[in-house]
Structures are given as structure tokens and as C-alpha cells.
């Protein structure tokens, strides 16, 4: 496929007007919408913002590659935009971005489109092409530059393939060092292939042979064989998501972010050739999270990452099951509890909910101990969801808290077993994942859950449930206020997730959606507050911020707190403080008015499911207005430029 088919001339922006990151995203996304490339501006922008929240796509050297793959995209396209003045896009090198490549891929993108996107991404590591693009004046210039670069790359690839087809004896006589690498990023559209291309180009310049396995949207390409790994001097992992690690047992290995593959290929190759990477042990205590860059994560960062792995895999069960159950209650009011429709919807919702804690525990365990921890984590989570009446005199279950404990216990039990069996003869390696880990892991986790965790947390969970059910109005308001405020402190970060997770735990234990109402309102306030402030205090916001504020009306009512992040990043004091005040007020009001939302997501779109729905709306409006007014009054006016 010709790259020019992706780089549409009539979609290019040769004089980008935006001066901020948020405004640049808005301008690029809007151009896609105007040109009919996307049919839902907010849906596509939502995924662009989520990707930026993971890590900036401003890769340095004046280039940014924001990208998303979702159902709003009608056809695979790359939008080229050029800013002569430059935009502060929070690029990794801290320099302004002049060249933008916004990549849009449809959910059902075929391999031809994905290969073309990969090819285009890999071309951008060519400094000559980048320099020429910065001087391009017309869309025709841009297309021609990429066409020439693509032709040159295809010619080189053909020559390389011909060289690779030479007899083995000829190839071996070169005696060039050989290394292997794996490149992967969460989306798998751009960075994966840029890292591959950068490593290959640098290896060629250093007279080194390299094979790079890519884990992108097309799936795994150029998969490393056992012989490749055996022959290699060392291994380079440039990945921002999990990759299969056990196969590298006994090899010197560097584990770095994917951006290092793009920006630091020479450093990575030199360190690999010098065998500076620690020897990776598939059965070692470090597991697949081994990081040899000398910058170990804090204990809290690791715990948070493990917890988020469990929660992210659990959320589809929460959302799907929770909303279907909530709908079933509405149906019950019309057709009765014995209706087939009610029984069907309620049954599906309850079946989905029955997997919440096992899935949570299983994927916390996997994040710690990899695949061997999946089964004991799942069983431990199931045990946490089962009444402990045979051990203590209670019909309560260990519940959400027990599931959290089960996940961490299972993960670290497998890590311990890997450490204990690290010195077994190589001939017994096959027995570890098939015999030792599943049997001993299940036995240890099952013992700890049955005799210690379940009894203790069943009592704790019973006490918590009893307290929440008997909680007076004053205590409920205080708790709702705290949870609502926490949702706005970091807008999607640890405080936000802690409050949301607590509300889900209470919901699954009691079936009461009152605290879900508090966190839902708290999460809607920040984007709505920025929208209100930009609407009524226009002189205190730039034109780009006012445009972003309009979109935050939609993001706010949809419970997408992240819409306020660009504002908080540029003005944290005024935005965060005002948001917390309004969110805390709104969360407290939901408890004062006994609002319950039996759905774990949806914002105002699930208003028909709420009890006291008028007060639910009122809590949102009051919280958003208070925050918006405080922000609008408190924020200083923009300085006039001379």
C-alpha cells in the first residue's frame, strides 16, 4: 500500500494555529471530523487523551505522534500538521513540537493498513526526512518526501533480503556480533515500529546483526526463535506492556521503555554488547518485571501497578454486569420479578458479578508472578467470594478485601517458588510450570486463604458491611464528601482509583449503590467545572482552552474525569483546589439526599437507573457550579500581550 494513500493531501494542516497541547489535539481531531475520517469527535479524542495520559507521544526532535484506534474511525489515515512556531507538547526532550502525525486506525483495520502505518512510523527515525518535512511548504511536498523515503526503504529491504538468502557459510564468515530485541507499546501502531527501525538502523551503522520482534496491532512479527535467543550476545526489551519473558532465561537482558528504543538505540546496543544487562532468570524473584536500567520503581509504584492490572481486567465485568442488573431492576418495576426478561437480565448481571473478585485476584497475581500465578490467584479470589462459615461463625465472605489479599499472596507465592526452584537442573525446567508451580502454588494459596485470610477478612467484611448499613446520615455525608473529593484530587490517578475501588467493593458486598453515586458525582465535577469556567470567564482562558472547555461538557456528563487533566496540568493550584471543593460537596449531597446509583459507570447517561434521580442531577449541578464559579473567580485574568 502506498503511504500517500494514508497521508491525505486535503486533510493536512500546513499552518497549525494551536499554541498548547490541548489546543493542538482539539485542532487535529476537529480536522479529522471535518474531513469525515471520524464520525464521533469526542470518542476519538477520548482515546487520544487516554494515550497521552500513559506517556507523551511527543518523542523529541520536534515530532509528536498522537494516535488512537477505535470505532469512531472510518478509515486508516495519518493527519500531517506543521507548526512553524512550535507547540509545547510535553515532549520527552522538552523542546517544542513542529511536526504532528495524528494516526487514526479503525477497530477493524486490515493488515494492509496496519503495515502501512508501521512503515510510515519507521520512516520517521530518518533525520534527513524529518529535516526536509520541516521545510515542506505544500501537501504535495509532504507526500513526495514520504514516497521517496518509502521507495528508498523498500529498495534497501530488498537488498537485505537478498543478502540474507546467501549460503550460511557466507553469512557466518562475517563474524558480526548478534543481538535480539523485542519492541512493544500499548497501542502498537507507531512507537513499536519506530523503535524497531531505530535499533535496526543503529545496529547496521555499528556493524552488528540484530533481529527485532515487534508486538503491535498486527500481532507478533519476526518472532524470536529459540536458536535466535541462544545465539544472541544479549537481549534488549523496549516495551511498555508485558511481553513473554521466560524464554530469555540465562541471557544478559536490558528492560527499558519503548521510547528508549527510539531515542537511545546506540546506548542500548553498546550496553548489550558489553553484557551490562543483568542475567535474566525466568525462575528468579524478579520475574518478568526485571528492570536493569538502574532505576527501580518504588514499592508503592509496584503495588499500584499490580492493583491497576487487576482492576482494569475486572472493570468490564463490573460495568457490563452492573448496568445489566440495574436495567433489570427497572424492568422489574414494569413486568414483575417473575418475568423472563427480568430473570434473564438480572441473572446475566449476577453471573458477571460473580467473577469480579476471582478476576481481580487472578490478574493482580499475574502482574506479580506472571502466568503461573493466574490459577492460584483465580482460585484464591473464588475462595474470598465463598462464605467462611465452616471456619468462623459467620455467613459473610472475605469479599473484595480478601480478593485483594488473595491476588498479592498468589503472586508472591509464585515469585517465592521461582526463587526456590531456580537452581534445579535444566532437564527439569519443563516440570516447573506444569507440575511444581500449579500444585504447590494452589496448595499454599489455598491453605493461607482457608485458614487465615478468609476467616480474618470475613469478620472484617462483615463488620464493614454492618457499619455501612447502620451508618447514620452524618457519617454517610462525611464518607460521601471524602470519596467525592478524592475523585478530583488526581483525576484518574491513585486517589481517584482508590475511591472508585472502595465504592465498587461496597457495592459488590451490599448491593447498595449510594457510594457509587458519591464517586460518580465527584468524577463528573472537574471537567464540568472547567467547562463552566471557560464559558462564563472567557477572558481568563485562551481561545484553545475555551474550545477544550466546550468538549468537557460532554466528557463531564459521561463520567470521564480525564477531560480536566490538560487544565490541571497547566494550572494545578486553581483547577485542582476548586474541583476538590465542588466534588466533595456533590459527593456529600448524594448521601444527604439518599441517592443511589446501581451502575458503576455512565455519568448522567445512567440517570434513569438512579434512585432519587432528581437529587442526583442536582448534586452534579451544584458541585459543578460551585467548582466552576470558584475557578472562574479565583483564576487570574490572562496577561495582555504587547
Catalytic residues, by residue number, are 67, 185
| β-strand partners of 216 | 219
Q: Give, as one character, the DSSP assignment of residue 96.
A: P
Query: H helices within 558-612, ranges in order?
Result: 565-570, 572-592
Cβ atoms 320, 600 nearer than 8 A: no
- ∠ CA 96-101-106 to the nearest 5 degrees? 145
DSSP string, 429-455: TTHIIIIIHHHHHHHHHHHHIIIIIHH
List, as one string, the DSSP characters of 606-618.
GGGGSBTHHHHHH
Note whether 312 and 275 are within 8 A (CB): no
- Distance between CA atoms of 385 and 571, rounded to whole angstroms? 44
Q: Coil, helix or strand for 185?
A: coil
Question: What's the burial of 116, exposed, middle or buried (CB within 10 Å: 0-12/13-18/19+)?
Answer: buried
Burial class (CB in 10 A: 0-12, 13-18, 19+), 593: middle
Q: For residue 471, which phi and psi values (nearest 5 degrees)?
A: -65, 130
DSSP states of 270-290: HHHHTT-SEEP-TTSTTGGG-
DSSP bridge pairs for 214: 183, 221
Pairing, β 58-60 against β 63-64: antiparallel
| Cα gap 617→609, rounded to integer Å | 12
What's the rounded Cα separation, in Å, for the pair 137 and 355? 57
Amino acid at each position: 500500500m502506498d503511504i500517500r494513500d494514508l497521508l491525505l493531501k486535503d486533510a493536512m494542516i500546513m499552518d497549525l494555529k494551536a499554541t498548547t497541547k490541548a489546543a493542538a489535539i482539539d485542532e487535529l481531531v476537529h480536522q479529522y471530523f471535518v474531513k469525515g475520517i471520524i464520525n464521533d469527535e469526542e470518542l476519538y479524542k477520548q482515546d487520544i487523551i487516554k494515550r497521552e495520559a500513559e506517556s507523551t507521544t511527543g518523542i523529541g526532535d520536534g515530532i509528536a505522534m498522537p494516535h488512537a484506534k477505535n470505532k469512531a474511525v472510518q478509515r486508516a489515515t495519518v493527519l500531517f500538521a506543521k507548526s512553524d512556531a512550535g507547540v509545547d507538547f510535553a515532549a520527552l526532550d522538552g523542546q517544542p513540537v513542529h511536526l504532528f502525525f495524528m494516526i487514526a486506525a479503525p477497530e477493524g483495520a486490515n493488515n494492509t493498513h496496519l503495515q502501512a502505518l508501521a512503515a510510515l512510523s519507521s520512516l520517521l527515525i530518518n533525520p534527513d526526512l524529518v529535516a526536509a518535512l520541516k521545510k515542506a511548504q505544500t501537501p504535495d511536498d509532504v507526500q513526495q518526501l514520504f514516497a521517496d523515503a518509502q521507495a528508498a526503504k523498500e529498495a534497501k529491504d530488498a537488498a537485505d533480503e537478498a543478502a540474507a538468502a546467501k549460503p550460511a557459510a557466507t553469512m557466518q564468515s562475517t563474524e558480526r556480533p548478534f543481538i535480539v530485541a523485542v519492541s512493544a507499546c500499548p497501542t502498537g501502531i507507531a512507537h513499536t515500529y519506530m523503535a524497531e527501525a531505530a535499533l535496526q538502523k543503529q545496529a547496521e551503522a555499528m556493524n552488528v546483526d540484530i533481529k527485532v520482534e515487534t508486538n503491535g496491532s498486527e500481532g507478533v512479527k519476526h518472532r524470536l526463535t529459540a536458536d535466535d535467543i541462544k545465539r544472541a550476545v544479549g537481549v534488549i526489551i523496549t516495551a511498555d506492556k508485558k511481553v513473554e519473558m521466560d524464554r530469555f532465561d540465562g541471557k544478559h537482558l536490558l528492560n527499558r521503555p519503548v521510547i528508549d528504543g527510539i531515542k537511545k538505540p546506540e546506548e542500548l546496543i553498546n550496553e548489550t554488547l558489553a553484557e551490562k544487562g543483568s542475567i535474566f532468570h525466568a525462575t528468579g524473584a524478579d520475574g518478568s518485571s526485571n528492570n536493569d536500567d538502574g532505576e527501580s520503581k518504588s514499592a508503592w509504584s509496584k503495588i499500584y501497578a499490580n492493583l491497576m492490572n487487576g482492576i482494569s481486567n475486572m472493570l468490564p465485568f463490573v460495568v457490563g454486569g452492573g448496568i445489566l442488573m440495574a436495567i433489570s431492576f427497572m424492568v422489574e418495576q414494569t413486568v414483575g420479578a417473575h418475568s423472563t426478561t427480568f430473570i434473564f437480565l438480572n441473572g446475566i448481571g449476577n453471573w458477571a458479578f460473580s467473577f469480579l473478585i476471582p478476576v481481580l485476584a487472578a490478574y493482580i497475581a499475574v502482574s506479580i508472578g506472571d502466568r503461573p500465578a493466574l490459577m492460584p490467584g483465580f482460585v484464591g479470589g473464588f475462595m474470598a467470594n465463598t462464605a467462611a462459615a465452616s471456619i468462623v461463625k459467620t455467613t459473610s465472605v472475605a469479599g473484595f478485601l480478601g480478593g485483594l489479599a488473595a491476588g498479592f499472596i498468589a503472586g508472591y507465592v509464585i515469585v517465592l517458588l521461582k526463587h526456590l526452584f531456580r537452581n534445579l537442573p535444566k532437564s527439569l525446567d519443563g516440570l516447573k510450570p506444569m507440575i511444581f508451580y500449579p500444585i504447590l502454588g494452589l496448595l499454599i494459596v489455598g491453605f493461607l486463604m482457608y485458614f487465615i485470610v478468609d476467616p480474618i477478612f470475613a469478620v472484617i467484611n462483615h463488620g464493614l458491611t454492618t457499619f455501612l448499613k447502620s451508618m447514620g446520615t452524618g457519617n454517610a455525608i462525611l464518607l460521601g464528601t471524602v470519596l467525592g473529593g478524592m475523585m478530583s484530587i488526581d483525576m484518574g490517578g491513585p486517589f481517584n482509583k482508590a475511591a472508585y475501588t472502595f465504592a465498587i467493593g461496597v457495592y459488590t458486598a451490599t448491593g447498595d449503590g449510594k457510594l457509587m453515586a458519591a464517586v460518580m458525582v465527584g468524577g463528573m465535577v472537574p471537567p464540568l467545572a472547567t467547562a463552566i469556567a471557560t464559558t462564563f470567564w472567557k477572558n481568563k482562558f485562551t481561545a484553545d482552552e475555551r474550545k477544550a472547555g466546550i468538549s468537557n461538557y460532554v466528557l463531564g456528563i459521561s463520567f470521564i474525569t480525564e477531560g480536566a487533566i490538560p487544565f490541571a496540568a497547566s494550572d494545578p493550584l486553581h483547577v485542582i483546589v476548586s474541583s476538590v471543593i465542588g466534588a466533595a460537596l456533590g459527593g456529600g449531597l448524594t448521601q444527604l439526599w439518599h441517592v443511589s446509583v446501581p451502575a458503576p459507570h455512565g455519568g448522567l447517561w445512567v440517570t434513569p437507573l438512579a434512585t432519587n434521580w432528581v437529587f442526583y442531577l442536582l448534586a452534579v449541578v451544584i458541585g459543578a457550579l460551585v467548582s466552576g464559579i470558584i475557578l472562574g473567580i479565583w483564576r487570574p485574568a490572562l496577561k495582555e500581550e504587547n
